[in-house]
Structure formats: C-alpha cells, structure tokens
C-alpha cells in the first residue's frame, strides 16, 4: 500500500529560515565566500528546524508544540498549508525542565478556537537559602485571533503528566493514569475535563468499572489510551496480556453508559504485539482501526470474522505516534475571530 497524500506543516523556526539563519543573510549560499564558486540562492534547513509535536486535532486543524516541553506554538491546517504562530506565553517558562499539558478545541457558544496550557509554577523560598520550590500548577488560555494568553484559575493540582488530549463536543479531555494525580479524584484513575465555553474544569469522569488495569501484572507501565470513536469518548486498555478492551461512553457523563465495544482476544495469535494501542476509527460494519505505538503499525480488526490486517510503516527509522484527524478545507482566516492574527502559508516563502 502506498500513501500518496502529502500534507504540509510549517517549519518550527520558519522566521529564522526565511531570514537566512542566525547570521541574517537571506541569500545564504551553498558555498562559502571566497571559494571561487558562484554562490547560489538557497535556504539551509537543519533537522531541528522542522521538528514539531502534534498535540491534537479539531475541525481539521492541528495544534503543534515544541517537542521538548510540549509548549504549544502554532495552529495549522495541513490541507491548505495555512498556520498561525501563537504568542509567547506569559508564565510557566521559568521552569525549563517542566512538561506542559495542553489541548486545542472549539467553543460552540462563543464560536472561537482556544488553546489551553497547564504548567508547574516555581518560586524562591528565602527560608531555605533562596532555593526554588514547587508551589502549584498554573494555567493559561489563548483565543485564536487575539495577541496574548490569559491566566485562569481552577487548575487541578497534579504534578503528573495528563496524556492523550482529546476534543469532544466543546470540551477538552485528558487521561490521568496515576493514582491520586488530581485533587478531584479519590485515588482512582480518571479523565479530567475542561469546558471551553466557561473556561473551567467541569468534572472528572471515572473509567469503566470493569477496567482491568488494576489487576494487571504490569503495574509500572499502563497501556491505556483515550480517543473518540463514533462520536463517543473511548478508552483502549491493553494493560494485560489479553484481551485488548475498547470501551465507549454512549451517553456523555453517565458512568453506567460505558459499553465494551470490542474485547479482542490476543492470546491465541502471537502476531498481536504487546504494548500501547490507540483507537483511530470505528466503522459501523464491525471493524476498527487501531495504531500500535511501539511497532508503528496500523491494525485493521474485523470483529465479525475475528480477523485483522497488520499494516506496518516500513522504512521508518524512528517511532511514530498517531491521532485521528479529519481533513478540512476551512481557512484559518475564516476561523479566527478578530484581525489580530497573522495567517501564514507554507506554500509561499514569506507567508
């Protein structure tokens, strides 16, 4: 199978590359001065200039972040090639070692796209030789089309990473797999939710009662992921050696509505690799697409025939991650509110 579609995302340091690098020479030659060779107009791009981490997808747009700290820096439409650079954050950058939990979504009530970031806050304590000490979590929110971030309260006081940012029906969701990770929880693994209309954390959703990660022999590493299948919030649990359980919440917010969509018995077929699986798409005829992180493979599973097709990404020198993304021709110029945002385009040199 050949994947012929080519989508474009911006360079992480596009402005530096456009300006000719750190020396500020927009006509950086492929040969040094004085070499006797006529210098050609070209642009030198280093691998580090291209690296991005994809946070999540919403309405055909992707939120991109720096790979080291996961700090959100841009929103793009890979189909049209348009992108918007996010403004520099106000807070949280003083701790360069901290990981940023972030997510991107749409507020139906205000008709605005928003990016939410959470980070560790540190202060110097004069009582202990002016050493830095942790004093809680901070949070900011940015509305696409504005020029700055706004500080907001009501942040869960968790020092654990919140994984798999997922947008669904006006809300952002994070999966917290560490016990006691959130003051709202009672020592159980939970889904933390944030309402983009009210800009507040609304509730914590409990995982299915039959969720078997508690009894897994691999307690040190949870093989659980979150996503959206068929318009419903879903959990994929592969913590045990068998089976792989996929749950969907049929009625949002109702604990009793968790339904076991698939329970894939993998013990009878050694071709099923052990590790973390990510649900990608559910097809109503009884098939599901799931992605295996460590093998960088897409698996097409047919529940009616109990068969699967293993599609390996060949030629890859590194591991991949996968998210569900529905492409759109919606222009970022029509999506943002106000005229403060500068919409760039990867198809033109200067945007």
Number of structural domains, the chain?
1
Structure tokens at 220: 């040190």
Give long-range contacts, CB 8 A cutoff, 24+ apart: 286-292: 288/229, 288/246, 288/261, 288/262, 290/236, 290/244, 290/246, 291/322
Q: How many CB atoms lie within 10 A of CB 110?
A: 14
- Is 292 inside a domain boundary? yes
Residues 200 and 192 sit within 8 Å (Cβ to Cβ)? no
65 domain-assigned: no
Q: Are the C-beta atoms of 71 and 328 separated by less than 8 Å? A: no
Is 96 among the domain residues? no
Of 351, 330, 336, 335, nearest in space to 145 by CA: 336
Does any domain span residue 260? yes
Structural domain includes residue 101:
no
Q: For 327-337, what is the mean pLDDT?
A: 89
pLDDT digits (tens, 9 = 90+) for 69-123: 889 999 999 999 899 999 988 765 555 557 889 999 999 999 999 999 988 776 6
pLDDT for the residue 57: 95
Q: Is 95 helix (H, G, I), strand (E, B) or coil?
A: coil
241 in any annotated domain: yes
Instruction: Give the rounded percent of residues in the chain with a pLDDT score beyond 70.
Output: 68
Q: Is 230 a domain residue?
A: yes
Residue 305 lies inside a defined structural domain of this protein? yes
Its domain, for residue 235, covers: 216-318
Tell me the whole-structure pTM to 2 decimals. 0.79
User: How many angstroms separate the CA atoms of 158 and 8, rounded?
Assistant: 35
Distance of CA 151 to the CA centre of its chain: 21
pLDDT digits (tens, 9 = 90+) for 176-194: 865 545 544 445 678 989 9
């Amino acid at each position: 199978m050949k994947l012929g579609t080519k989508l474009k995302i911006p360079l992480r340091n596009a402005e530096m590359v456009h300006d000719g690098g750190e020396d500020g020479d927009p006509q950086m030659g492929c040969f040094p001065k004085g070499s006797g060779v006529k210098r050609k107009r070209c642009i030198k791009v280093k691998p580090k200039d291209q690296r991005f981490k994809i946070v999540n997808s919403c309405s055909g747009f992707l939120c991109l972040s720096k790979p080291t700290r996961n700090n959100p820096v841009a929103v793009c439409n890979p189909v049209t090639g348009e992108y918007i650079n996010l403004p520099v954050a106000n807070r949280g950058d003083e701790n360069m070692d901290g990981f940023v939990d972030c997510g991107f979504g749409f507020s139906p009530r205000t008709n605005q796209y928003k990016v939410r970031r959470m980070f560790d806050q540190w202060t110097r304590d004069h009582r202990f030789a002016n050493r830095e000490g942790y004093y809680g979590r901070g949070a900011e929110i940015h509305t696409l089309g504005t020029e700055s971030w706004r500080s907001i309260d009501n942040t869960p006081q968790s020092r654990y990473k919140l994984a798999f940012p997922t947008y669904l029906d006006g809300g952002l969701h994070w999966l917290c797999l560490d016990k006691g990770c959130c003051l709202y929880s009672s020592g159980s693994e939970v889904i933390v939710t944030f309402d983009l209309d009210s800009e507040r954390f609304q509730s914590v959703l409990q995982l299915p009662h039959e969720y078997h990660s508690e009894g897994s022999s691999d307690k040190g590493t949870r093989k659980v992921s979150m996503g959206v299948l068929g318009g419903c919030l879903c959990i994929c649990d592969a913590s045990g050696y068998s089976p792989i359980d996929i749950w969907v919440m049929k009625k949002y917010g109702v604990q009793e509505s968790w339904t076991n969509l698939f329970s894939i018995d993998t013990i009878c077929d050694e071709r099923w690799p052990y590790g973390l699986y990510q649900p990608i798409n559910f097809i109503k005829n009884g098939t599901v697409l799931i992605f295996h992180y460590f093998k960088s493979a897409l698996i097409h599973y047919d529940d009616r025939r109990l068969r699967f097709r293993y599609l390996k990404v060949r030629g890859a020198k590194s591991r991949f991650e996968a998210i569900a993304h529905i492409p759109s021709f919606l222009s970022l110029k029509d999506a943002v509110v106000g005229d403060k945002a500068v919409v760039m385009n990867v198809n033109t040199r200067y945007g």
